[in-house]
Structure 1
Amino acid sequence: MADSQRLAGTAYVAVNGQSYSIVGQGTYQVSGSSREPLNGQDGFHGYSETQRPGKISWQGRDGSATKIAALNDTSNATVTLALANGKTIIARNATRMGEPLAVNSEDATFEVEFISPDVTEN
């Protein structure tokens, strides 16, 4: 039986079934829409709505089996983030974003972000 009081503290991440060490700072945003007000001189007229991708990001650790170049090249991937509260976040057709990953040699950490039009929480 899951501990209903545990909300945070552990997380597991995988890209296309390959597990990666997660140091921390795992974050997610489910896909959805962004709304902006449409105001006129006479007041509020309504709003515009645009679709926004979701994302999963984390701070990882560069172990001997970690292939940074492979992470850099990742697109059209399934990324899963399993959280201590029992939720599993899934990004389908995800692509790594930003500059190529930079690894800090002092503690072997890197930061990575994936975006996807389809990020859900289960």
Structure 2
Amino acid sequence: MASNMRRSGVTTGFIGGVSYDITETRYSPTRWVRETLKGQNGIHGYSENPQQARIVMTIRDAGGMTVSDFSNMVDEEVQLNLANGKTVGGSGMWCTEAIEVNTVEATMEVTFEGVSVTETTTS
């Protein structure tokens, strides 16, 4: 039996249960930011602070959507179903940053941040 060797590509992406045309995505489930504490006599250790989780999508603008609506999105369920079988998602996420539309490609980058992003893998 052959195994699935596909490693990349997004199959679907949803915000609040609504599917969008996605050209690219990035995500970060990172929970902590660590910085090395350096002194003149050597390394003293590190500091640790919480880091927000993030899902970033480049979405194709469509005639039926209003771009300004994204700035009002808070407490959203954001989900990516990846081609490798992994599901990535976050609950209670909010849209951050100003959204600009590239009219040549009809694309915009939308960033959602929240407390956590989870990854569910297939066996």
Range class of TM-score, shorter chain? 0.7 to 0.9
What do the CA deviations read for 1:47-101 (whole angstroms, capped 9, x no partner)?
Answer: 11001011111111112332322222101111001111111111121111111x2
Tell me if structure 1 keeps the 8 A contact 2:28–2:55.
yes
Q: Which residue of 1 aligns with 2:111?
A: 113
Q: Is the 8 A contact 1:11 1:26 kept in 2?
A: no
TM-score (norm. length: structure 2): 0.85
Give aligned pairs, total.
120
Secondary structure at 1:69 match in 2: helix
Contact kept? 2:55, 2:111, Cα under 8 Å: yes
Equivalences for residues 8-87 of structure 1 within 5 A:
8-23=8-23, 25-87=24-86
Kindly provide the CA deviation profile for residues 31-55 of structure 1, in whole angstroms up to 9, marking residues without a partner as x. Answer: 3101112233332222110010111
Quote the Cα distance in structure 2 between the aligned partners of 1:121 and 1:56.
12
Change (3 A) 1:12 1:3: farther
Gaps of at least 5 residues in structure 1 are none
Q: Which piece of structure 1 moves more, 38-47 or 106-115? A: 38-47
% identical equivalent positions:
34
What stretches of structure 1 move > 3 A for 4+ residues in a row?
none
TM (normalized to structure 1)? 0.86
| Paired residue type of 1:88 | T
Give distance in 2, aligned partners of 1:21 and 1:91: 19
**Local SS of the residue matching 1:72:** helix
In 2, Cα distance between equivalents of 1:69 and 1:58: 16
